[in-house]
Structure 1
Amino acid sequence: MEKEPIIWTNVLLFSLTFAVAAIGVPVYAVLVGFSWTEIIATILCLGYCGMSITAGYHRLWAHKTYDAHPLLQWFFAIGGAFALQNSALHWSSDHRVHHKFVDQNDKDPYSAKKGFWYSHIGWMLREYQAQRYHDYSNVRDLQNNKIVMWQHKNYLLLTVLTNFGIPLLLGVLTGSIVGMLLSVGVLRLVLSHHFTFFINSLAHIWGKQPYTDQNTARDNGWLAFVTYGEGYHNFHHIFEFDYRNGIRWWHFDPTKWLIKGCSFIGLTRNLKVCPEDKIVKAKALMQLKRAQARAIQLQLPDAEQLLQKMEHEYALLVERMQAYYDSQKQLLQQKKAGFQQKKDQLMQSYNDFDLGKHCAELKQNWQLQQRQWQLFISQYA
């Protein structure tokens, strides 16, 4: 069977840069050595490239999880060219197809079901889906973005100016042109590439699936450290329009912190967040499915009654959770109405207190049921 044509530009780029990073950089480090200036510059440029992909290409343009000021968009557009991962328009088009047809070998551009090598880098070495290079019908919204289209039209020039110009400029300023070309130029590029590629490969085979098992995406806190928070991939694939990937305060997600931080100075706005009740429900459903599978596997004599009890406990958990969140929404709406109707402020305050007390009681009921659920389900984890 005839194989798809090789994309020699990509093969040469990935091969040569990897060879220089794997051989040239260590040799230079031993014979000459890298200064702290070169090391710090490499880390900063690596972070700039990575965050331009995660906060810009991924969460801003591919998923539209928030809106960004033009200044921030220019910052990401330049950084994306520096990262050398194709234009924002092309990258976003590929990624939207990936989410729409995840794990479908004939449609997903980097399907994890084709193996680690293919999803990591192999999909870029041959023209497996030639139409990807001219069909941008799924990113018509981005075609109306002047900054995205400017970067797309001038992408080749921008990649040359950033990938050669920035290391050369730093080399001239520090008096170490070769060192900067090797560290900021090549090593930074190779690390930036493979850290991003890990999301397509490792994040689909290594980790847990706390929210859904309908695709291969996994949550992996360790992977989040080298991917600027993108390691919480199972969450992302079920709630892709949330600007966060790591939803808890302890989750390492610097991309989330950047987006949120920029909102305080007006550079980002309309940050989209998935309702908490949907997240809790998805997690509880996965716990139920695993507990049911475990109970069936154990072949207990009262398995049928146990499965029914699991269903009952889950239904009770969802019912109490939903009652709490519904009352919370009602309370917020009532408070907003109270602010708009100042003449009824005293009466509204009384109603707020009454409903607030009821909301607190519902929350207590839900939390008690949640603790009971965790104790019950932990027996079959």
Structure 2
Amino acid sequence: MFGLKKPHVVNWTTTLFLSITFLSAAIGTPYYLYTYGWSTPLFLAFLFMFSACCMSITFGYHRLFSHTAFKASWPVRLLVLIFGAASFENSALLWSSEHRRHHKHTDHEDEDPYSISRGFFFAHMGWLFLRYTPERPLDNVADLRKDKLVMWQHRYVQLIAAVVTFVIPCTVGWFVSRWDGFLGCLFIVGFLRIVCVHHVTFFINSLCHVLGKQPYSSRTSARDSWIMAILTFGEGYHNYHHEFQHDYRNGIRKWQWDPTKWSIWLLNKVGLTWDLRRVPKEKILLAQIAQKERALEARLGKQEITLSGAAAQLLETARQHLAHAAEAWETHREARNNALKAAAKTAVAHESEGLLATLRREEEAAAKNLRLCIRAWRNAYRVACATI
């Protein structure tokens, strides 16, 4: 099935669950709307549960647990684990294990759990219908096994999901308006919301590897799309994410739609999240330059032409200067980071202040020189493109 080489069997539990939830939403939603009509409280309940569950996946399962892009207080972790369970996407432990494997083996036909190389449907949801035999070991989430809240959720994920999705909403709905409220919470807040949340996540694995551009790297199929960012709570800047997976941001520009990033940042301001990991701007620019170089090389190869002598020499000189500047900047940056780590362990921190100040100045000077070389490369690149 799907051309997989490794032994596998049909995962009947997941297959039946996805089928039942879809059919219940497809049949129950129009029946309810025809019988009882739409109401503002029901819409708000649906919107709350949909947003809470989606954000618990993007904020919690993805950026917090899978990539450790930041750290969060226990109340924040508890909330995302509860509503993450209500998403019916398995436990954070299992989800993170699969996702880390996806990043390690992106696009590999067998090792990537939801490889787009197997086709759109397989990446979207087909992979969920299968179970490998033997099952993949949870050998890449040792850090999460030490988190008591993560392990609590892992043990009781089905119970938490059922209570948060069906028991509480349907009970409240019954006391508010009897069958009207009960069925509304069952079909709209329950089944329809589950299906919608599922496909928001599924689209990240499928459409985000098909639709959009690749400004940072073409080494994987991941792509950036502002349309997908809107649909997936900021996860649509997928090309950036695959190149810099430990950054807490997916949309790095202030104007790029990424409510997950904004939520992490806001919680940081009130002390509920900390150690937010950000990729330096210089490193991002270098990735964009490398991608433009690859695109230029492909363009020249496709048209079977070469750059003129002067343009080629100008670009090659700019490349060499840029490579030396990037290496120097990385060296100074690493030296300062190592000194900061050493100072944090030192009882008398003031003894390191002079060294840290010197290293900071050297890093800033190296960064300034790197930016100048980037500017020179851009000019040379424009000249080269103009000659084609």
TM-score, with structure 1 as normaliser: 0.85
Identity of aligned residues (%): 38
- Match for residue 242 of structure 1? 247
Preserved contact between residue 246 and residue 253 of structure 1 (Cα < 8 Å): yes
Q: Are residue 51 (structure 1) and residue 58 (structure 2) matched?
A: no
Once residues 371 and 382 of structure 2 are traced to their aligned partners in structure 1, the CA distance between those partners, rounded to angstroms, is 17
1:37-62 CA distance string (max 9 Å, x none): 11121111111001111111111111
AA aligned opposite 2:241? H
Any conservation in 2 of the 1:90–1:136 contact (CA below 8 Å)?
Answer: yes
Residue deviations 1:184-236 (CA, integer Å, cap 9, x gap): 10111001001001111111122111111111111111111121111111111
Residue from 220, 226, 229 that aligns with 1:224: 229
Alpha-carbon spacing, 1:143–1:373, altered in 2? closer, same or farther (3 Å):
same
Aligned to 1:288: 293
Check whether the contact 2:166–2:186 (CA below 8 A) recurs between aligned residues: yes
Tell me how far apart the structure 2 counterparts of residues 251 and 168 of structure 1 sit (CA, whole Å).
37
d(CA) in 2 for partners of 1:82 and 1:328? 43
Q: Which residue of 2 aligns with 1:197?
A: 202
Q: How many residues align?
A: 373
Match in the other structure for 2:174: 172
- 1:70 maps to 74
Conserved? CA contact 2:97–2:140, under 8 Å: yes
Paired residues of 2:308 and 2:387 also in contact (CA < 8 A): no
- The alpha carbon displacement at 1:255 in A equals 0.7
* Structure 1 residue 35, shift from structure 2 partner: 0.7
State TM-score, norm by structure 2.
0.84
1:304–1:193 CA distance, 2 compared to 1 (3 A): farther
| CA shift for structure 1 position 356 | 12
2:164 corresponds to which residue? 162
Summarize deviations over 1:315-349 as a string: whole Å, max 9, x none.
Answer: 4455567778999999999xxx9x969x99xxxx9
Aligned to 1:61: 65
- Shift of the alpha carbon at 1:150? 0.4
Distance 2:258 2:116 in 1: 23
**Aligned 1:1-381 pairs, distance under 5 A:** 4-128=8-132, 130-132=134-136, 135-172=137-174, 174-175=176-177, 176-300=181-305, 302=307, 306-317=311-322, 362=369, 365-366=372-373, 368-369=375-376, 372-373=379-380, 375-376=382-383, 379=386
Shift of 1:263: 0.7
Q: Please list every run of 5 or more consecutive structure 2 residues that lacks an aligned counterpart in the other structure.
A: 344-348
Q: Give, in whole Å, the separation in 1 of the partners of 2:362 and 2:125.
A: 56
Letter in 2 for 1:203: C
| Alignment partner, residue 346 of structure 2 | none
Counterpart residue identity of residue 155, structure 1: V
Question: Secondary structure at 1:313's aligned position in 2?
Answer: helix
Rounded Cα–Cα distance in structure 2 between residues aligned with 1:317 and 1:359: 11
Please state how far the C-alpha of 1:298 moved relative to its aligned partner. Answer: 2.5
Distance 1:359 1:168, change over 3 A: same
Q: Distance in 2 between matches of 1:203 and 1:373?
A: 32
Q: 1:328 to 1:97 in 2, by over 3 A?
A: closer
Equivalent residue of 1:243, what SS?
Answer: coil
Q: 1:23 to 1:282 in 2, by over 3 A?
A: same
CA distance in 2, matches of 1:28, 1:141: 45
**Change over 3 Å in CA distance of 1:332–1:77 after alignment to 2:** closer
Q: Distance in 1 between matches of 2:47 and 2:323?
A: 46
